[in-house]
Amino acid sequence: MRLSKLYMPTLREDPQDAEIASHKYLLRAGMIRKTASGIYTYLPLGYRSIRKIENIVREEMDNAGAMEILMSAIQPAEIWRESGRWDKFGPEMFKLKDRNDREFCLGPTAEEYFTTLIRDEVKSYKDFPLNLYQIQTKYRDEKRPRFGINRAREFSMKDAYTFDTSEENLDIAYMNMYRAYENIFDRLTLDYKIVEGDNGAMGGTGSHEFIALSETGEGVIVYSPSGKFGATEEKAPVKYNLPETEIEKEIEKVNTPNTKTIDEVAEFLNVEKKKCAKAIDLIIEGEPVLVFIPGDRELNMAKLISYTAAPEHEIRMMEDEEILNIKSYPGYTGPKDIDARIIVDKSLTDMKNLVIGSNEDEYHYINANFGRDFKGEVVEDLLLVQEGDLVPGTDEKYEFARGIEVGNIFKLGTKYSKSLGATFLDENGKEKYFVMGSYGVGITRSVTAIIEQNHDENGIIWPLSVAPYEAIVTIVNVKNEEQVRLGEKIYNDLKKKGVEVLLDDRRDRAGVKFKDRDLIGIPLRITCGKKSADNIVEYSTRREMVNMEITAGEAINNILEEIENK
């Protein structure tokens, strides 16, 4: 492709709203353009990289025995109603109606769609296992679209679904996909960790997330230094460090003016923060719920969601007025004598003589004890992991890292086959539910993860496997006949050898060409400059930026070798 013909609207300046490198460089390199919040157009260079990622994913899925199909991006509401997720998905789902008022959504994922596709046709145990996938645009009306195509409202996802006859066979299918995912992210050359995930709204019995490490990632993961255990922050179990046990003292109401925070009350009463019960005042599905955890910790919302089974969009903090409505007082909510659902982290029930809010302004109780003074639903672990926590069952401290979730695999079990009535007959003619798994790769998000891990101050540094073009030939001065002659010859030779090559034949100044070349990040480069008459070129690579003056033939060979070895 000739740059003189290529649509590549590069920008000199950093776009205002681009917070992270991938967003900034994709815009500046003329690879994407924004249409609306979280909605993008992929331009020629950007789209080539996306298609390369797609092809890697496709090859690895095909190798793993998955079969590609393509379902509509528009899905009928009925199947989502049947599974119960039409309402559960909440405001993240783009819903629409046709001219006859029939309801649809733009698919945010496709568990229901795949299950109902095969449920009436796959009837015998002999038809299993089955592994189907698609690479399809997905739609989620994200609360906070950010970072360009990293968290978009329209994005490309590969989603696969496996169907098996038993949990054991699901385990086999799951491990097969797990390995395929390792191959995919290895080929994308990502530096990633595989951690246990929270099943969340998806349901099921287990999951792993593939997290591309990056300081700009929205996800936090924790892992043991030995590498034996890793989990997302949401999933990570916390073993709370209990204080020494004491004998129960007499409960007492004490005056505690201006102590609405844990820090204030702990200081005022001169007690450890951990012994002051922290209240999180929530409205869950319209009902008041007070959650209590030790005062030195934060609530893990994912664990609470998993316990209550309430959808995330149905959970919010209480307004002050709502706290007054339950006859309590903001900053002084407590679990004793109150008309609300009370949920208590187990650790608080193992501690004696707690400080709790009295539900009255300026008063707390001291020496409050679970069972004797207050009651509630006890949940094993509602705590967010924090620095210093031990990996349960070991004496290793968790290590923390940030990253971008590029893939997620789930053991769904029979959750969807049950709700959607998908059954088969086993060897003995007995009716059983399909046992399912689902497996997602963020195709367009992977582009951003690759760039986050591969860039410098001048632009993108594409790995060869996903670069929009493998090589670029730059003619420094298009008015010089020798340079043009040599540049055209190298370009044609490389094309003949099957190399994906760009020719910079633009009339621009050399400085502009070099800047653009760095920005768009093509890995292998040949520059035809002053020594062109002698058949001498500069050969360089984007990553190392070393320049070599060698003959055109040698430079071509270098490129062929690099591609051969990729």
CB of 408 to Mg ion, least distance (A): 3
Report what 383 binds from ligand ATP, Mg ion, none; CB cut-off 5-8 Å by kind. none
Cβ proximity to ligand ATP, 24 vs 140, nearer residue: 140
Q: Is 157 in the site for ligand ATP (CB under 6 A)?
A: yes
Cβ proximity to ligand ATP, 274 vs 415, nearer residue: 415
Biggest CA pair distance of the chain? 97
Give residue for tokens 């003056």: 549
Q: Are 173 and 437 in contact (CB under 8 A)?
A: yes
Phi, psi angles (nearest 5°) of residue 208: -130, 145
Q: Is 109 in the site for ligand ATP (CB under 6 A)?
A: yes
Cβ proximity to ligand ATP, 235 vs 517, nearer residue: 235
DSSP per residue, 146-203: BTGGGB-SEEEEEEEEEEESSHHHHHHHHHHHHHHHHHHHHHTT--EEEEE---GGG-
Q: Are 289 and 335 in contact (CB under 8 A)?
A: no
Phi, psi angles (nearest 5°) of residue 555: -65, -45
CB of 210 to ligand ATP, least distance (A): 7
Q: Is 140 in the site for ligand ATP (CB under 6 A)?
A: yes
Number of residues that bind ligand ATP (CB under 6 A): 15
CA 290, CA 294: separation in Å to the nearest integer?
A: 13
Report what 157 binds from Mg ion, ligand ATP, none; CB cut-off 5-8 Å by kind. ligand ATP
CA 277, CA 271: separation in Å to the nearest integer?
A: 11
Q: Is 405 in the site for ligand ATP (CB under 6 A)?
A: yes
Cβ proximity to Mg ion, 212 vs 266, nearer residue: 212
Q: Are 181 and 409 in contact (CB under 8 A)?
A: yes
Question: What number of CA atoms fall less than 13 Å from residue 325's CA on the CB side?
Answer: 12
CA 250, CA 270: separation in Å to the nearest integer?
A: 18
CB of 358 to ligand ATP, least distance (A): 39
| Of 128-136, 314-322, 331-339, 401-409: span binding ligand ATP (CB under 6 A) | 401-409
Give the 3-state secondary structure of residue 210: strand
Distances from the Cα of 255 to the Cα of 69, 273, 281, 485, angstroms: 68, 18, 22, 90
Cβ proximity to ligand ATP, 51 vs 506, nearer residue: 51
Report what 482 binds from Mg ion, ligand ATP, none; CB cut-off 5-8 Å by kind. none
Using alpha carbons only, give the angle 85, 194, 129 rounded to the nearest 5 degrees.
60
Q: Is 408 in the site for Mg ion (CB under 5 A)?
A: yes
Residues 213-252 as x/- pattern, contact with Mg ion by CB under 5 A: ----------------------------------------
Which residue of this chain has its Cβ atom nearest to ligand ATP in the complex?
442
Residue 52 parent element (H or E) = helix 44-63
Q: Is 369 in the site for ligand ATP (CB under 6 A)?
A: no
Contacting residues toward ligand ATP, per CB under 6 A: 109, 140, 142, 151-152, 155, 157, 405-408, 440, 442, 444-445
Contacting residues toward Mg ion, per CB under 5 A: 408
